[in-house]
Amino acid sequence: MPHDAPSAPMSAPPSHGPDLNPNDLLRTTVDPAPPAGVTIRQVRAICTAPAGINLVVVRVDTSEPGLYGLGCATFAYRAHAVKDVAERYLDPLLRGRDVHRIEDLFRIMMANAYWRNGPIQNNAISGVDMALWDIKGKMAGMPVYQLLGGKCREAAAVYRHADGGSPGEVLDNVLGYMAQGIRHVRCQMGGYGGKSARDLAPAGAQPGIYFDPQGYARDVVALFDHVREKAGDGVELLHDIHERLAPMEAVRLAKALEPHRLFFLEDPLPPEQPEWFRILRNQAAVPLAMGELFNNPVEWRALVAERLIDYIRVHISQVGGITPARKLAAFCEQFEVRTAWHGPGDVSPVGHAANLHLDLAAPNFGIQEWAGFNEQTREVFPGCPELRGGYAYVREAPGLGVDLDEAKAALYPPDEGVTAWTQTRLPDGSPAWP
């Protein structure tokens, strides 16, 4: 629409939502009252893959020379779509606005597209939201955790991932982590869902990543029998079902793992089956963690309020950043539910730092997933959080403490290929949740 097109009156909201003629509703600009202080000058996104995993980081530049913030917007499998939302839509929306109004800007960004809480939009919003917290910390001369109320602890206890092709290989990795001072280890065998089941498929079955749910469930019990017997009780063990079992099979597996006193069992059910949590809770005394696939913080509300889970598994950029995550943590505190923010390789160091600042300030912190950084990632992101023993530490610097070297980031362009591991199939060739 031309910039000089007549605009609809802003005082009367539409009575029929988006079904009205868009020409009666759209305005290309809304001129807010001039802010008194520092304003947003530009929003842009940087895509990079120094560890072979696509990362997206949003940079918000301000009217103050040299003052900028960084935020994680990583949706590894739709990286360029997130970049497009940040630069094509959020940048013009936010230019000239007051950097201090984080809550106000979060709500403006969330509402501006009318439809909300999708993963692409939420990640783009997260990039801006985290960057604004980073800026506020820099302006205050404080780490972000100070803005959240200060430390409840000096560092965040972490868990690492131990995988292998056999119980013996997994055990070796568990013992290796224990020797490094790690006291929490997630055990998987053959990745998520166990070994390939391609040889069980019928003739003409479609290509994909095959797995056998029944064989996986049997193998997991044998795995934990072996690891707990050999590693002893001096290590906390975790496991991720990754929503790959039918609900009743997940209940059966949880009951079978009760004797091993898991720290938690992760994503036992898909987001589409929340009612099954009541059955699972009544059948198995196993701590439950849920939610890395959720997009909206409200998706945890019933599970938390009814005390059906023990830990929230939140990919912070997926829900929109620090602003919604800190509210969710405070809500969970009322029900003795703890945080376990998602921390895999497809979270940038900026996102890991955001996780840790929340960990330090939250009374109900539980555990932090830790993927670690390779040397290339550390070069691209100066100021990465550090792992020492079983704890992760943020850099004691204003803001989130992580920077981005864009010249080095450009040396590691993102992967443009089609994602393979999510093309999962059951033994008969049927498509399945990854």
Q: Which of 68, 159, 192, 216 is catalytic?
A: 192
Q: What is the largest CA-CA distance in the chain?
A: 74
User: Hey, is 67 helix, strand or coil?
Assistant: coil
Q: Please compute Rg for the chain using Cα positions.
A: 23
- How far apart CA 289 and CA 280 sit, in angstroms, is 12
Q: In which element (H, E) is residue 131 found?
A: helix 119-140
Structure tokens at 9: 């009156």
- How far apart CA 421 and CA 240 sit, in angstroms, is 16
> What do you get for the CA distance between the two ends of the chain, in Å?
42
Concatenated DSSP letters of 345-389: TTS-HHHHHHHHHHHHH-TTB--EE-----HHHHHHSTT--EEET
- How far apart CA 75 and CA 84 sit, in angstroms, is 12
Contacts of 434 (CB under 8 A, 6+ apart): 192, 209, 242, 421, 422, 423, 424
Verify whether residue 242 is a known catalytic residue: yes
In this structure, the dihedral spanned by the alpha carbons of residues 327, 392, 350 and 298, taken in order and rounded to 10 degrees, is -20
Find the length of the chain: 434
Q: What are the backbone dihedrals phi and psi of residue 354, each rounded to the nearest 5 degrees, phi first?
A: -60, -45
- Per-residue burial over 357-367, b = 16 or more CB atoms within 10 Å of its CB, e = otherwise: bbbbbbebbbb
Concatenated DSSP letters of 241-296: -TT-S-HHHHHHHHHHHGGG--SEEE--S-TT-TTHHHHHHHH----EEE-TT--S
User: Hey, is 187 helix, strand or coil?
Assistant: strand
Verify whether residue 192 is a known catalytic residue: yes
Q: Which of 242, 260, 352, 357 is catalytic?
A: 242
| DSSP letter assigned to residue 143 | B
Number of neighbouring beta carbons within 10 Å of residue 159: 24
Structure tokens at 342: 């998602």
Just list the catalytic residues.
192, 242
